[in-house]
Amino acid sequence: MPRLRISYWCTQGHETPVVFSLLPVDQIPEQWDCVRCGRAAGRTANDLPLPTAFGDQPFKSHLDYVKERRSVAEGEQLLEEALERLRHRRGRPGRR
């Protein structure tokens, strides 16, 4: 099946290549989310999309939200507790 590769560019200068099946030009999206920073990306590096109603804020991953709620020390403590439960289930409590 014939394919069409389109590059999208965000305000950070990241290129996001996207492959579409051969579509009419009016069906190819004008904007795409940047896979590196989450900002809106346009089809040319010179004609970048305007910020959305939420501003030009990148998306946040699940890990970003967790890091907002927990310190590194809390994360390490939770990890150690989870590992200890796993070791206990496997019959090896206290092993490191």
List the CATH number of the domain containing 69.
Answer: 2.20.28.270
- In the prediction, which pLDDT does 17 show? 94
Token digits for 34? 């940047």
pLDDT in 10s for each residue of the chain, 96 residues? 788 899 999 888 899 999 998 878 888 888 888 888 878 888 887 777 666 555 556 667 777 778 888 888 998 998 999 999 999 999 876 655
Instruction: Assess if residue 95 is contained within a domain.
Output: no
Determine the Cα angle at 51 with ends 34 and 66, to 5°: 60
Tokens 């900002």 — which residue? 39
Token digits for 90? 């496997």
Instruction: Assess if residue 48 is contained within a domain.
Output: yes
